[in-house]
A = this chain, B = another copy of it.
Amino acid sequence: MIATGVVVEYNPFHNGHLYHIKQSKKHTDADVMIAVMSGHFLQRGEPAFIDKWTRTKIALANGADLVIELPYSYATAQASDFAKGGVLLLEALQCDFLSFGSEQGEITPFLDTYKLLEDHNHELQQNVKQLVQSGLSYPQALNTAYQRLIPNNQLTYADLTKPNNILGYHYVEAVQKYHTNVKPITIQRVQAGYHDAIQNGTTIASATGIRQAIQEHHSLQNVSSFLPKATFHALTEWYDEHHHFASWELFWPFLRFSILRLSPKEIASYAEVTEGIEFLIIQAAKECPDFNGFMQKVKSKRYTWTRIQRMLTHIFTNFTWQQLKSSDLPNYIRLLGMTQNGQQYLSERKKLFTLPVISRAASSNDPMLLQDIHATDLYMLALGKNKIGMDYKIPPIRI
C-alpha cells in the first residue's frame, strides 16, 4: 500500500482541502491518505473553530483514511517545529509521501532553496540577527536575509513571502534534517490566498475567510458553496448545539481572568513570552474588555499577531518555557479516527511503525499527550461546556 501524508488543521475543512487531498492521492497513486491534524489549539495561536473529533469526522468523510493528532507542542509552535512534528509522525507511520499545498506548486524550488540556505546558513543567521536587532519581526528578517542570498534573476528558488511556501520549506527542511524516507511533493494552491476573504461565485476560499464570514453574519448560508457537505452539516449541528464557534473573542473572559490573576513574573514563564512583553500583556488585559482591542494594544512591529496569539495560547493552557524546552521528538502516534481502509493499513503496517499507536488516552502518561488532554479540558470549559476528560471518553472515530 502506498501511503501519502498531509499535515493539517482543517479549521474547518473546505473545498480547497478536498482538492488538495484528491490531487495528492492522484499524484502519488496513494492507497491510503494519512492526515496529521492539530488538536484544539493551532499554529496561529488560536483555539480551533470546532473540536478535534468533529474535524476528524469531516476529514474521514472527505478522503482521509487515518487522522493522527499533532501534539500541542508542535501544533502551536513556529513553522519549523510544526513541520518537524508532522514530518516525524508521518515517518513513524511509514508514509511514502508528504504532500503539502503551496503557492509555488513545484517541489524543485523548495529543494534548491533548502540547499542554498543550508550552504549559507551561518551568513543567513548573522543577517537575521542583525535585522531583528534593527527592528524587523523574525519572519520579515528571515525573508529579507534570504532574499539577499538569492543569485540575481534566479526564479527557481521558492518565494518565501508566501505563507504556504514558508511552511512547505520547513517540511522539506525537516525531511532532510531528520533523514526521513518520506518524499515531499507539493500541489499548487488554487484561487484563494491564505488570509483572503470569501468571494461569491467561487467554490474555494481560505479557512480564515470562511470563519470570518460565519462570525460576521452569524450564519452558514454565505459559506455553503465553499464547503463539502460533511463540513456544512457538522458546522450546522455545532452551531445549533453551542450557539457559537470557538474563538479568542469567545474565550476572552477566561483568558483575561487568567492573565490578570498572574504576576508579571509568572506570565514571563510561559512559552514564547520574551523581553518584558508580560507587562504590556497585563496592562492591555486591564484596559480592554474585548479581545480585539487587547490585540491592537499588544501587537507591534517586533511581534506579529500570530506570535502574540501563541503566547496567549500558552498562558491559557499553562504551558511554560520549561515544558517547551523539554519537548523534543514525538514518542507516540495518537489515533483520532480511521476509515476501514485506514484500519487495514494499520493492521498491515503497525508492526513496522517506529512509535506506538495510542487509541486510548488512558494507556499513556506521555507529557505531550497530557498537555493535549489538558488543552481539551480548558477549551471545553471556555466554550461553556461541562465536558471534562473528553480525551478519555471518546474512542477513535470510525466511519
Contacts and interface: CB of A to CB of B under 8 A. Distances in A.
B262 A318 contact: yes
Interface string A248-292: 000001101110111100100000000000000000001101000
Interface in A266-323: 266, 286-287, 289, 316-318
Contacts of A286: 377, 388-389
A154 interface: no
B287 A257 contact: no
A35 B396 CA distance: 62
A381 interface: yes
B318 A261 contact: yes
A382 interface: yes
A289 B257 contact: no
A254 B388 CA distance: 15
A138 B197 CA distance: 64
Given A286-B389, A388-B286, A257 B254 contact: yes
A386 B258 contact: no
A128 B266 CA distance: 38
A375 to B, nearest CB: 10
A261 B320 CA distance: 12
A257 B381 CA distance: 7
A335 interface: no
A213 to B, nearest CB: 29
A378 interface: yes
| Chain A interface, DSSP helix/strand/loop, else mixed | helix
When all copies of this chain in the complex are counted, the total is 2
Contacts of A261: 258, 316-318, 378
A378 B260 contact: yes
Contacts of A388: 260, 286-287
B260 A382 contact: no
A257 B261 CA distance: 12
A344 B351 CA distance: 86
Nearest to A263: B318
B253 A381 contact: yes
Nearest to A254: B257
A246 to B, nearest CB: 15
A287 B263 CA distance: 29
A254 B261 CA distance: 10
Contacts of A389: 286
A145 B370 CA distance: 46
Contacts of A258: 257-258, 261
Contacts of A316: 261
Contacts of A384: 253
A362 to B, nearest CB: 14
Nearest to A388: B286
Most chain B beta carbons < 10 A, residue from A257, A286, A378, A388: A257
Closest 10 CB pairs of A and B: A289-B386, A286-B388, A261-B318, A257-B381, A254-B257, A260-B377, A261-B378, A286-B389, A258-B261, A260-B381
Given A257-B257, A260-B377, A260-B381, 17 more contacts: A253-B254, A253-B381, A254-B254, A254-B257, A257-B258, A257-B378, A257-B382, A258-B258, A258-B261, A260-B378, A261-B317, A261-B318, A261-B378, A262-B318, A263-B318, A286-B388, A289-B386
16 contacts: A253-B381, A253-B384, A254-B254, A254-B257, A257-B258, A257-B381, A258-B258, A258-B261, A260-B377, A261-B316, A261-B317, A266-B318, A286-B377, A286-B388, A287-B388, A289-B386
